[in-house]
Structure 1
């Protein structure tokens, strides 16, 4: 089954890949590895902003992380790489949060669970989930990815 067919089966529609908000590339391919720049969470076309532990709930944070994961896949699709995914190798999750918020791993599960849901065992990955005081554009979450690719 293709990834596109799997997405359709799950009822998932990928958003349009977001343009960079600064001076960087949304993805870079080196050999058989794709590096996806940090992706911000857009839900229904709107950026999810705020801080976990203050004005963003755990559930909203998980939904934001899932939206960042959808944007990672949108970047892979825009690059013509979605069907070449061999393994999601590593995710880096950044969660804008208050100093006393400690559930960053639960927030980033929103992305991790999505990757397993879509890619199966190839979606299992290494990961970091860290709290930060602020993210670009006041985003609540940002997630980047390292992806192993099948040969073209």
Structure 2
């Protein structure tokens, strides 16, 4: 089954791939790997902002991470790579959070679970989930990815 068909089956509509907000490429392919730049969470067209442990709850953080995952898929699609995914290798999740918030791994599950939902076993990956004091544009979460692709 194609990834597009799988997305349709799941009722997932990808957002438009976001344009870079600075001087970088959204996706760079090298040596059979697509390196997807950090993606911010857009939910219903609006950037999900705030800090976990302050004004964003765990569910909101997970939804923001899922939105980042959707944007990763949108970037792959825009680069013509969505159907070439061989494996999701690694996700890096950055969670804007207070010093006493320690559930960054649970927040990151929003993106991780999406990858498994879409790609099955090929979506299981290594991961880092890191708490940070602030992210670009005040985003609650940012996720980047390394994806093995067929050339």
Report TM bin, short chain. over 0.9
Shift of 1:148: 0.3
Deviations 1:46-68 (A, max 9, x none): 00000000000100000000000
Structure 2: 5+ residue runs without aligned partners? none
Structure 1 residue runs of 4 or more that deviate by more than 3 Å after TM superposition: none
2:41 is aligned to: 41
2:4 is aligned to: 4
2:91 is aligned to: 91
2:53 is aligned to: 53
2:137 is aligned to: 137
Confirm whether residue 73 of structure 1 aligns to residue 73 of structure 2.
Answer: yes
CA RMSD of aligned residues (A): 0.4
Shift of 1:150: 1.7
Structure 1: 5+ residue runs without aligned partners? none
User: What SS class does the counterpart of residue 51 from structure 1 fall into?
Assistant: coil
Distance 2:136 2:49 in 1: 10
The total of aligned residue pairs comes to: 151
Shift of 1:31: 2.2
Confirm whether residue 150 of structure 1 aligns to residue 112 of structure 2.
Answer: no
Confirm whether residue 18 of structure 1 aligns to residue 13 of structure 2.
Answer: no
